[in-house]
Chain A
Amino acid sequence: MVYRSNTRLTTSICAPVILSLFLFATGFACSADLPTRFERSYSPHRTVHLTISNVNGKIHVFSWDKKTITVRANAASSVLIEDEVVGDDIAISTKRNLRLGRADFEVWVPPDTSVIVKNYMGDIEVRGVNGHVIVTSIDSDVRLINIKSPSVDVRVTSGDVYFEGELNEGGSCSLQTMKGDLDVTLPAAASFNLNARALSENINLGTFLSNLTGSSRGPKGVSGTYLRGGPRLSLTAYAGRIQLHKK
């Protein structure tokens, strides 16, 4: 008799506890999948250096005609996004953790902003920026469009890099990928000093070849001066092609 009543008591205590634990675990699992939204706006007084550091997800940076900077991200709830403002530097970063949550960023900046983008996985696009541009990533296709920057530096381990823009007098543009193609579109009247190296595949300078002077050409590299020279254009592809096009 005692045994039977003890069993009933145990059951009546354990069942709600187990049910609660189950509901809690379910709720936790569900909340981990719910996306969260990050949004910040900044009103700088001067030209800003903006750094976006991500692990997994897209980063798209666009210029606009406002003086403010707006950052929006859709992120998995496991992803922690932090911002830090020190003087003219704004840094937005996602914290690394073992769960590879995704965070997709969209950023709007005044055109003269300098932009530094760091990522591990996920495509990167920067449009219409006239400040310095630095992009480093492991596995990303990178597209830089309508860029008129004094310096551009892109390094990815794998991914294609597409650049379309202008080279500033005295400036530099360095694009590198270890696995992927480099595709560069410049105005027909652009002048530059070129150093292009492709370890495994072709370098195609298109119609830029005809006016390339002082050039040295080998099986893996082409260097020379196009028109008046000036800005440095450095292109390095280990397993991919290099192509130049005129706009």
Chain B
Amino acid sequence: MICTKCQELLSDYIDGALELGEQVSIERHLADCEPCRAMRDDLLQIVHFSHQLPLQAPASSLWPRIQSDLTELRPRLWDRPLRWWARIRSFNFNLSVPQMIAGAATLVIVISIGVIVSRRDGPAVNSDTATRLSQVTPLSNADLQQLEKQISKLSDSVEQRKESWDPELRIAFERNLYYVDQSLVECRHQLNDNPADDVSQELMLNAYREKVRLLEGFDKF
């Protein structure tokens, strides 16, 4: 075993997380290698003392700050219902067996009624909603052409103005245009692989709109 490999595994070795074979290899290497032994001993010290680090205390002013927060919270949290509940909990309940059986039976009846009623209503949303959420109108060639025409016009306008911009502004524009164009390239790849991919279609349409937004924004400079 070489030193680089040994040193990579030292943490796992110290933590007892190595297989027996690797453990033996490391121990053989350590027997003959002083630098690796030095490293092992240092890491052992670090781990040992980390386990024993003492607790620190915050400033004494922290508790008054917490108390002040609680004073603001208290009227909202400690409403009458909770005090009422606290009183209930302080009662000492002594129930006879017939009383417990009657209570359990009542609970079962109430739960059963609740389940029957909720099943009749059915789930508010089912997988149809999930499908609707991702359905989009397919992107037509006419839509694409329209967007590309708009982008081309804006790009020409921005190109003419760009030279007079502050360098920082120009860099920001070019960097963000690159990100948008990369997204469009990725969307096109996904659609080439699967033309019926609704999600990629929607993302591509959105990315075109973002490109228009970017160009319109910088066309104002």
**Residues of A with Cβ closer than 8 Å to B?**
56, 96, 98-100, 120-121, 136, 138-139, 155, 157-158, 176, 178-179, 193, 195, 197, 199-200, 213-216, 218, 220-221, 223-225, 228-229, 236, 238-239
Contact = CB atoms under 8 A, between A and B. Distances in A.
B12 interface: no
Contact of A215 (B130, B166, B190, B221): B130
Contact of B176 (A56, A158, A197, A224): A158
B123 A223 contact: no
Given A199-B190, A238-B203, 19 more contacts: A99-B166, A100-B165, A121-B168, A155-B210, A157-B179, A157-B214, A158-B179, A179-B179, A193-B125, A199-B183, A199-B200, A199-B203, A214-B126, A214-B127, A218-B199, A223-B134, A225-B129, A236-B203, A238-B186
B220 interface: yes
B169 interface: yes
Nearest to B204: A199
B203 A229 contact: no
A139 B203 contact: no
B134 A216 contact: yes
B76 to A, nearest CB: 14
Contacts of A220: 190, 199-200, 203
B217 interface: yes
Contacts, number: 109
Nearest to A229: B125
A99 B169 CA distance: 9
A238 B209 CA distance: 13
A238 to B, nearest CB: 4
B210 A197 contact: no
Interface in B43-91: none
Contact of A195 (B123, B133, B165, B173): B133
Closest 8 CB pairs of A and B: A100-B166, A238-B183, A179-B179, A214-B127, A225-B125, A223-B133, A157-B176, A216-B130
Given A96-B220, A214-B127, A238-B186, A195 B179 contact: no
Interface in B1-17: none
A236 B187 CA distance: 13
Contacts of A213: 123, 125-126
B172 A139 contact: yes
B164 interface: yes
A31 to B, nearest CB: 19
Nearest to B166: A100
B182 A138 contact: no
B203 A193 contact: no
A243 to B, nearest CB: 19
B164 A229 contact: no
Contacts of A214: 123, 125-130
Contacts of A155: 210, 213
A199 B131 CA distance: 18
B180 interface: yes
Interface in B98-133: 123-131, 133
B154 to A, nearest CB: 14
A223 B207 contact: no
B221 A96 contact: yes
Contacts of A216: 127, 130-131, 134
Given A98-B165, A178-B180, A221-B134, A139 B190 contact: no
Contacts of B169: 56, 100, 120
A56 B214 CA distance: 15
Interface string B164-194: 1110110011011001101100110010000
Contact of B207 (A120, A178, A193): A178
A182 B124 CA distance: 28
27 contacts: A98-B164, A98-B221, A100-B168, A136-B213, A138-B176, A157-B214, A158-B175, A158-B176, A176-B206, A199-B187, A199-B200, A213-B126, A214-B123, A214-B127, A214-B129, A214-B130, A215-B127, A216-B130, A220-B200, A223-B131, A223-B133, A225-B124, A225-B129, A225-B130, A228-B124, A238-B186, A239-B183
A112 B190 CA distance: 43
